[in-house]
Amino acid sequence: MKSLPEILAEFEQALELERELGTRTVECDRALLAPLRRAEAVAVQANQGAEASARVVPDVPPEPANEPANLGLPTVDELTACSKCPLASLGRQHVVPGQGNAASPDIMFIGEAPGADEDRQGLAFVGAAGQFLTKMILAMGYTREQVFIANICKCRPPNNRTPSPQEMTACLPYLRRQIAAIRPKCIVLLGRTAMSGLFPSQRIRRGTWYTYEGYPVIATFHPSYIIRFDPVMDATSLRTAKLEVWNTLKMVLARLGRRPPGR
Ligand code: URA
């Protein structure tokens, strides 16, 4: 069972997360504030422990290279001409290479595959999930333009189905080229498909550092997991999931030597 300081520290983090995500007012009993302040010291200590353990990086061997990764960023024309998997002929409107800062940004976010909005605009994460990703990025103190946002697959799977392992394998060389050309300081994988797409032969866990071809990688929930379940998920599970996302984003900031803005 959790101790009172742990519960208060979590509560404080939940409030912090809501503030970062745009909530401006909450009703709060004044009597809560004193223990919250005491809990802050506990939270800082717990955080320092988490950051120390985050430095223990399980190093996953790189996936076998099936194409040189040093060919530069794949172009829209090149991706449009690609026919390495069935997605090219299954009704996509646009390829979605990804966008943002391609000159060694602090963070490269990698999702699953374009959805309907992304397919229409040729841009990654511009629909509802993208709005939550934007909140995450702003909460970390960045703009979308300062990070790079990409996907495992560059074409929309019909009816937003999960890309098959073959489709992800076919698209992986493009992502490897993006990573090699962009040289992000950290990679954040969004959701289970991104995790298995980048590490097809290794089960990785959320909230733990790995390396991929020399780049630090960490995974968290996909934004659509949070927004899809928002209306129906019970409040505790939703808060736990959001907190986990926020704690992972704070691990990323700590690794980059940064703090969330306003702290
Ligand atoms: N979901 C993803 O994984 N990627 C997008 O670009 C949009 C939604």
Q: What spatial distance separates the first Cα and last Cα of the chain, rounded to whole Å?
A: 30
The sign of the torsion formed by the CA atoms of 85, 91, 97, 100 equals negative
Determine if residue 191 is left, alpha or beta; phi over 0 gives left, psi from -120 to 50 gives alpha, anything else beta: left
Cβ count within 10 A of residue 114: 31
> Which distant-in-sequence residues (6+ apart) come within 8 Å of 232 by Cβ?
none
For a pocket test of ligand 1, which of 109, 118, 149, 160 has the largest count of ligand atoms closer than 8 A to its C-beta?
A: 118
Per-residue pLDDT of 86-124, as tens digits, reads: 999 999 999 999 999 999 999 999 999 999 999 999 999
Ranges of the chain with pLDDT below 70? 1-68, 229-233, 263
Write down the domain spans for the chain. Answer: 4-53, 76-255
Cβ count within 10 A of residue 164: 14
pLDDT at 257: 98
Ligand 1 pocket check for 114: Cβ under 6 Å: yes
Q: What is the CATH number of domain 76-255?
A: 3.40.470.10
Say if CB 117 and CB 130 are below 8 A apart: yes
Separation of CA 132 and ligand 1 centre (Å): 11
Say if CB 217 and CB 187 are below 8 A apart: yes
Ligand 1 pocket check for 151: Cβ under 6 Å: yes
Which residue type, as a one-letter code, is found at position 245?
V
> Which distant-in-sequence residues (6+ apart) come within 8 Å of 236 by Cβ?
none
pLDDT at 249: 98
Atom of ligand 1 nearest to the CA of 129: 8
pLDDT at 2: 60
Per-residue pLDDT of 123-145, as tens digits, reads: 999 999 999 999 999 999 999 99
pTM score of the predicted model: 0.78
